[in-house]
């Protein structure tokens, strides 16, 4: 792999770190804003930062705004819609299980995104890459499943798995949007896609909350200080996600993104004071091995 080829790995790790911080902030905001309100925070307060990224890029590089084809908007609608649903499901799951285990449920996503990427984008994977994805996902399953779990404990599991499926569809949608621009400048393609996605999400959810739950919208604006930070981290994480999607298949990006489980473990231990079981520790080892194998396979 060339030096440039390694960039997607760097972008993915930075995105995973930023997303972990954002998820932790959203988890805390759920208590005061509810699931829908905390979901909207990442979009409404992330959009201004995405605009700054775009204008900064245009100022530094002199690149003009792209002229998106019609198919771009279809991909964007898929990406942003699935992301809204995925975020809401994720926060609902976090309300019932620990932070790190919820992230583990969601991170079954690579298998789903590999399938969606093959179907919708024609992204192909080698045998070694598929094996690496399965190893990492086995680690997620090891972390998630517990002996003697009661039937009611499966609700957060299904919420997390459904969230992972929606995040997978979102990843494929955003990668499709980026590729549809057909730009040689991958940074402009990624940043423009980010801005358009956040714009649509901000408008749609703001209109929904103002019509259905104006009290929640007022609460979001009143909680602007923590929301601003969550929005910044969300926009920054998304910026790195899209840069990675511009350079590698969605399945590869989302498998390396499993390092987020390690970041989540650190947050859970040091911020939320949640302990990790031996089973979860074994799962973490499998995740690391799978991610390492995928990087080597490239």
Question: Which percentage of the chain shows pLDDT scores above 90?
Answer: 36
Taking residues 227-238, what's their average pLDDT?
A: 90
pLDDT in tens, 29-39: 877 888 788 88
Average pLDDT, the chain: 83
pLDDT in tens, 7-50: 999 999 999 888 878 877 777 787 788 878 888 888 899 999 99
pTM: 0.81
Q: How confident is the model at residue 124 (pLDDT cuts 50, 70, 90)?
A: confident
Q: Which two tokens stand for residue 104?
A: 């583990």
Helix axes 109-120, 154-180, angle to 10 degrees: 40
Interior angle at CA 157, CA 101 and CA 24, nearest 5:
40
- The answer, yes or no, to whether residue 1 has pLDDT greater than 50, is no
Q: Domain residue spans in the chain? A: 4-297
For tokens 């929005």, the residue is 231
More confident: 252 or 239: 239
Taking residues 152-177, what's their average pLDDT?
A: 84
Sequence-separated (6 or more) residues with CB below 8 Å from residue 116: 168, 169, 171, 172, 250
Sequence-separated (6 or more) residues with CB below 8 Å from residue 226: 25, 28, 29
Whole-number pLDDT of residue 2: 42
For tokens 């790190």, the residue is 100
pLDDT in tens, 57-105: 999 999 999 999 999 999 999 999 998 888 788 777 776 666 556 666 6
- The answer, yes or no, to whether residue 154 has pLDDT greater than 70, is no
Whole-number pLDDT of residue 262: 72
Residues written for the chain: 298
Whole-number pLDDT of residue 206: 94
Q: How far apart are CA 94 and CA 90, in angstroms?
A: 6
């Amino acid at each position: 792999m060339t030096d440039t080829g390694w960039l997607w790995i760097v972008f993915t790790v930075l995105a995973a770190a930023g997303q972990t911080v954002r998820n932790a902030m959203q988890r805390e905001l759920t208590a005061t804003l509810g699931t829908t309100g905390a979901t909207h925070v990442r979009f409404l307060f992330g959009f201004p930062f995405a605009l700054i990224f775009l204008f900064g890029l245009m100022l530094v590089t002199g690149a003009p705004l792209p002229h998106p084809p019609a198919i771009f908007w279809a991909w964007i609608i898929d990406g942003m819609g699935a992301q809204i649903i995925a975020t809401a499901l994720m926060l609902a799951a976090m309300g019932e299980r620990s932070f790190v285990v919820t992230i583990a449920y969601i991170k079954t996503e690579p298998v789903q995104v590999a399938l969606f990427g093959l179907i919708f984008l024609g992204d192909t994977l080698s045998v070694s890459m598929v094996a690496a994805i399965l190893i990492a996902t086995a680690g997620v399953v090891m972390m998630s499943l517990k002996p003697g779990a009661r039937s009611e404990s499966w609700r957060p599991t299904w919420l997390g798995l459904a969230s992972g499926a929606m995040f997978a569809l979102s990843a494929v949608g955003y990668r499709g949007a980026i590729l549809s621009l057909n730009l040689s400048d991958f940074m402009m393609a990624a940043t423009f896609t980010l801005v358009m996605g956040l714009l649509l999400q901000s408008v749609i959810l703001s209109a929904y909350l103002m019509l259905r739950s104006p009290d929640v919208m007022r609460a979001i604006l009143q909680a602007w200080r923590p929301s601003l930070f969550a929005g910044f981290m969300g926009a920054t994480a998304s910026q790195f996600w899209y840069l990675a999607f511009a350079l590698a298949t969605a399945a590869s990006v989302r498998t390396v993104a499993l390092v987020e489980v390690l970041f989540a473990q650190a947050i859970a231990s040091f911020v939320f004071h949640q302990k990790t079981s031996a089973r979860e520790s074994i799962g973490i080892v499998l995740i690391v091995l799978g991610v390492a194998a995928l990087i080597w396979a490239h």
